[in-house]
Structure 1
């Protein structure tokens, strides 16, 4: 089965070639299935890169998939929001590129991360990459996700993922919808599912002055993360405007243009709230 993802897939619709079923363990094509058909599994890829320290432990091969159901006000890669902005690429090509760096990656204690955009908008393609990164290349694997489409992650896919980088953008529901244009509950449901599976999670929280920095909002995220039992780290990420030029180039309004970055004191205060719930905050 060839999975050709050349246009946006509506949220709520199954990915091309995927059977419906929220947590089905039989719906995810893996390397043996792809080999049996002699046809490549393909997806929309924005880019790939090597990074250290920001996409999981060690040096990592990061694949950025195109397309995202959220419209975050502070997105620093708005050029990944639309699936059509990516390049149709086979899993074979991605694996071949990652293979060039595996010796170096393993020596650093790193691995492979699939980010975006939102990887779970293309669950078949992402699942194939995770399976091959883990079993063919022997790499530690990480999923960078908002969790909004967590129901698209099959149990088979999650078995091939060692770490989930879960963005919880706000606890206050109205703020969450203002930031993302989506609802928070699917992310919380996915977080509970990961906890039930004992899957390691790093929570990511972007601190935006005047938007997400209310102590009660941070307290809500911290209490929830601390209750799960599988969150080994929280990344408190200071808001920045490094992506503003991309918004302007795309003729999209960047509504946070006048919002300052948080001060070191504000970041430290947010970290203390997470630490009060027994979490490691960095």
Structure 2
């Protein structure tokens, strides 16, 4: 019997979740409850549309030429894609068989033997590290930081090309000592080839309201240019290239 995946949505020509033009698959379900999440409608593991691997692959193949020409591929994101590791493994195998590169966008919180197998097929991991201070991380996400750091260690052990993503939220993740600690920590990972600092935005605020969730960042502003450049400057001390 085919493995079934629950998918929130797909984006056929994404350009921000990895290199080149990408077919982006937003998987349903997430164990984190990030205060700044712009896709809270992906949290519920019982929602979404069911896909078989054949059904999803048929959609992906339609865009193969665009991905190949641009150096792109498929990105599995969410939600947390590794909650559905069996499905992601099957899709990753099929993508690689078609010569399509695979990126996994993850918080690094979920880990298992199946996840290890998924990572064997990953050309790129986009690892979202929400904060480096364990207390702040727990406040931001509702879960512990340690699993993410262990996941990061595993990418180094297996020499998996990894990009780090850090969402900058004024009053929440702008603790500069934590940013300095993370920048220093990342110096120890030669497999990290890029850092992306993503400015907080409120485009998903309406989803929280529609779902009846309490949105704690209602009065939070987007980071100004001075703060953004200060945080980028700290990350540059790691010696790892920054996006933009």
TM-score (norm 1): 0.84
For the pair 1:165 / 2:126, whether they are aligned, the reply is yes
> Structure 2: which 5+ residue stretches go unaligned?
none
Q: Identify which of 190, 201, 211 aligns with 1:250.
A: 211
Task: Map residues 1-282 of structure 1 onto 2, 5 A cutoff.
Answer: 39-135=1-97, 137-151=98-112, 153-282=114-243
Mapped to 2, the partners of 1:108 and 1:90 lie a distance apart of 27
How much is the aligned-residue C-alpha RMSD, in angstroms? 1.1
**Aligned pair in 2 of structure 1 residues 273, 152: CA closer, same or farther (>3 Å)?**
farther
Report if aligned partners of 2:14, 2:23 keep a CA contact under 8 Å in 1. no
Mapped to 2, the partners of 1:79 and 1:52 lie a distance apart of 20
**Aligned pair in 2 of structure 1 residues 151, 225: CA closer, same or farther (>3 Å)?**
farther
Mapped to 1, the partners of 2:96 and 2:185 lie a distance apart of 30
Mapped to 2, the partners of 1:156 and 1:123 lie a distance apart of 9
Mapped to 2, the partners of 1:133 and 1:69 lie a distance apart of 26
What is the match of residue 10 of structure 1?
none
Mapped to 2, the partners of 1:178 and 1:228 lie a distance apart of 26
The structure with the larger Rg is: 1
Measure how far apart 1:152 and its partner are: 5.2
Residue deviations 1:90-137 (CA, integer Å, cap 9, x gap): 1111100000010111111100000010011111011111111111x2
Report if aligned partners of 1:168, 1:221 keep a CA contact under 8 Å in 2. no
- Poorly superposed stretches of 4+, deviation over 2 Å: 50-53, 150-156
TM-score (norm 2): 0.97
Mapped to 2, the partners of 1:77 and 1:226 lie a distance apart of 31
Residue deviations 1:203-259 (CA, integer Å, cap 9, x gap): 000001111111101111211222111110000000111000011010111100101
